[in-house]
Structure 1
Amino acid sequence: MIVILLGVISNDEKDLINRIFSKMNVKMYNISFNILRSHCDAEEAVAQTFLKITDHIEKISVLPCPQIEPYCVIILKNETMNIIRKRKKTVYVEDVDYFDHNNKSCDTEEEYLKTANKEKLLSCVNRLSDEEKNLIYLRFVNNMSFKHISELLDITEEAAKKRGQRILKKLRLYYEEGENNAQYN
């Protein structure tokens, strides 16, 4: 927000940033918190998102009104993913203590299979186009209805449902391809 204070951007761009902030700040925080499960990280993701919005306000200001919100949500998603990537590189002392002192019996093979299945599913999702990933993200990570997704993407609700069905079918196909390839190795 320093850019706003220094007056580097025009009044129209300031107004647009303020409108986006007023309209989406709480929504962005909730989306980010649902993914990250940390108040501090969610606030960081939202702050970084608004810095990116400020940096790219010229590009955002020329977008049609219905496309501004999805564009900003995608920026938030990317910032949230950056925080998750940073987390993966960090091992917290609490986690080490938990694994060292956990008295429950742990079935290593079962844990491995769960992890392998998640990784396989993630690799299948990574094969999707960005547009398909965004629809999956909105539907399953943000738990949005097809009606809301259709409004964000400026398409009919039926088109959103059909796209969702096609993407899930494609994911099943990718997943099964992976299983079939694993059988022959």
Structure 2
Amino acid sequence: MADLATSARRVSGLADFAADTTSIGGVTLADAGPASRFVLRGSEAAAAASGPFGVAIPTTSLRAGEGSGRAALWLGPDEWLLLGAAHETAAIQSALEQAMAGVPHSLVDVSHRQMGIAVEGPGAALALNAAVPLDLSAEAFPAGMCARTIFEKAEIVLWRTGPERFHVEVWRSFAPYVWEILDVVRKENAAAA
């Protein structure tokens, strides 16, 4: 019998939806793919974690820092979501734990709990605003801004990565729900145009 621990493979929660990445109504949806995801807590942890993580952990509210394929998203006064390449999970965790050994903190691997959806195009903000109660205009929510918010009944982390690009972090169980609503909205917007 095969060892389940070594034969198990993570499958995207959007496998049934993400095959078609056609732009509809000025919006393209895509599965952001697997990633390392950690929730870091601790007011002193940001300074200790920035160097080994390779990205300055933002201390300004609602901001994200990124570079070298990694990102740190501010979620609260002492909480951040850290994103990196999927194959780096163990290395990131080890480096951060060593750097923060004497610092009060919590570092939790949430790589399997969450997934990302990329929402892109000139209609991206409008499509997201069908279910997100924030002002997503470029003036109010510029590139580099992130926020923990709601998408209908799902809690998400929304990050504007460019003028017409957003990254949605959502719990795996809610990903199809968020995808389907975005798909319906973009189709309705296309029909109304």
Which TM-score band applies after superposition, normalised by the shorter structure? under 0.3
User: How does the TM-score come out when normalised to structure 1?
Assistant: 0.23
Which has the higher Rg, Structure 1 or Structure 2?
A: 1
TM-score by length of 2: 0.23
Q: Which structure has greater strand proportion?
A: 2
Return the structure number with greater relative CO, CA threshold 8 A, min gap 6.
2
